Amino acid sequence: MRLLTPLKTLSRLLTPTAKIIDGKKISADIQNGIKEEINGWVAAGHKRPALRAILVGDDPASCTYVNKKMIASREVGIDSDTVRLPSTISQEDLVKKIEELNNDNNIDGILIQLPVPDHINEREICNAVHVDKDVDGFHVTNIGKLVANQDTFIPATSLAVIELIRIIGIDTFGKRAVVCGRSKNVGLPIFQMLHADYRNELPGLEATAIMCHRNTKPEDLVMYCQSADIIITATGVPGLIKPHMVKEGACIIDVGLTRITTPEGKSKLVGDADYEGCLARAGYITPAPGGVGPVTVAMLMKNTFKACKNFDRQRSNQK
Ligand code: BQF
């Protein structure tokens, strides 16, 4: 028996056991579904959904993300374009540009690629987007609706996390879920959806949710993670989630994406979890990249089509 236990441990360490969640494949399947729906929608004589992204400056990561959104739009049949503005643009001129798009009846969805330059007030910019065109769900009214369990545009990253949990088939009712990271656009909406009551206009996942953040004591983070059935991490701290913090069979959803330089001097993107190590402990794990990211883009497509259908309903109610 003395020999068996370390051998078991050793074999667990050497043998990856987690099921790897293929975000690219899941995203492609979702987008194919949306594409079919939009085809039917347009064939039935409705207006094709239209999305505009506003990109301020030329941050390489932001450019990459906007491009991914444009490619996805083209694939699903959403008319899309990027409004590129100089990083020196004033707050006032940026608001004017947003209002132009707000007043354009052909446009259903507007997003401002974040982050914006330091001299721009991000909160004001998010609130400048028409509530019904706010496909990112960052307008203060839409955040309020989310917290009040009302139907709204749920931020795409949180929708992606919820959708992945549903597709994997993880039961959340009364289960322990730990969210690492408390950003307003990612950690907070995920936390909100996880703990909310399912008997609502916006059904929640009924988990016992715990929110950890930069001031959570390291030993508390370990304790909460060890107790968790689901760990959702969105901190941008590579290696934050280590194998000893993961309950055997737990589900890890890794939202982190950080560009690092490897010891060999190569640049690459990594998530928050010690991926190789956690493979041997977790039951399910999303790789980063290739996990939550692609599904996030698919959820933006879903939100844009939703905005389009909402406007269509508004127009027919006015008739
Ligand atoms: C993939 C984002 C931080 C800050 C601002 C596919 C995306 C990313 C990765 C993507 C992200 C992250 C987006 C992969 C949008 C997700 O293959 O793994 C797609 O486009 N994302 C963003 O718009 O702004 C961010 C992360």
Ordered by start, the domain boundaries in the chain are 48-131, 154-293
pLDDT of residue 11: 64
Q: In angstroms, what is the span from residue 61 Cα to ligand 1's centroid?
A: 8
Measure the CA–CA gap between 9 and 200, rounded to whole angstroms: 44
pLDDT in tens, 96-116: 999 999 999 999 999 999 999
Whole-number pLDDT of residue 16: 72
Atom of ligand 1 minimally distant from the CA of 68:
20
Higher pLDDT, 16 or 210: 210
The per-residue pLDDT for range 141-197, each reduced to its tens digit, is: 999 999 999 999 999 999 999 999 999 999 999 999 999 999 999 999 999 999 999
Q: Which of 68, 163, 299 to mutate to test the pocket of ligand 1 (most atoms within 8 A of CB)?
A: 68
In this predicted model, which residue has the larger pLDDT, 200 or 4? 200
pLDDT in tens, 80-92: 999 999 999 999 9
Report the chain's mean pLDDT, rounded to a whole number: 96
State pLDDT tens for residues 195-222.
999 999 999 999 999 999 999 999 999 9
Q: How far is the CA of 69 from the centre of ligand 1 (A)?
A: 9
Q: Is 294 in the pocket of ligand 1 (CB under 6 A)?
A: yes
Domain 48-131 top-level CATH class? alpha beta
Kindly state the percentage of the chain with pLDDT values over 70: 96
pLDDT, tens digit, 9 for 90 and up, residues 228-253: 999 999 999 999 999 999 999 999 99
Determine the pLDDT at residue 3. 58
All residues at 6 or more sequence positions from 112 whose CB lies less than 8 Å from its CB, including other chains: 53, 54, 56, 98, 125, 126, 129, 136, 138
Helix 156-168 crosses helix 292-318 at what angle (to 10 degrees)? 110
pLDDT-based confidence at residue 6 (cuts at 50, 70, 90): confident
Q: Is 15 exposed, middle or buried (0-12, 13-18, 19+ CB in 10 A)?
A: exposed
pLDDT at 108: 98
Question: Would you say residue 10 has pLDDT above 70?
Answer: no
Q: pLDDT band for position 139 (50/70/90)?
A: very high
Could you report the per-residue pLDDT of 28-37, keeping only the tens digit for each? 999 999 999 9
* Domain 154-293 grouped into CATH 3.40.50.720: yes
Q: Note the pLDDT of residue 12.
A: 61
- Going by alpha carbons, the residue nearest to atom 22 of ligand 1 is 65
Indicate the length of the chain as a whole number.
319
Q: How confident is the model at residue 2 (pLDDT cuts 50, 70, 90)?
A: low
Protein residue whose Cα sits closest to atom 18 of ligand 1: 289
User: DSSP letter at 130?
Assistant: -
The response to whether residue 33 sits with its C-beta less than 6 Å from ligand 1 reads no
Give dist(CA 286, CA 158) in Å, integer. Answer: 14
Same fold, 48-131 and 154-293: yes
Atom of ligand 1 nearest to the CA of 27: 6
Is 290 near ligand 1, meaning CB less than 6 Å away?
A: yes
Q: For position 190, what pLDDT does the model report?
A: 98
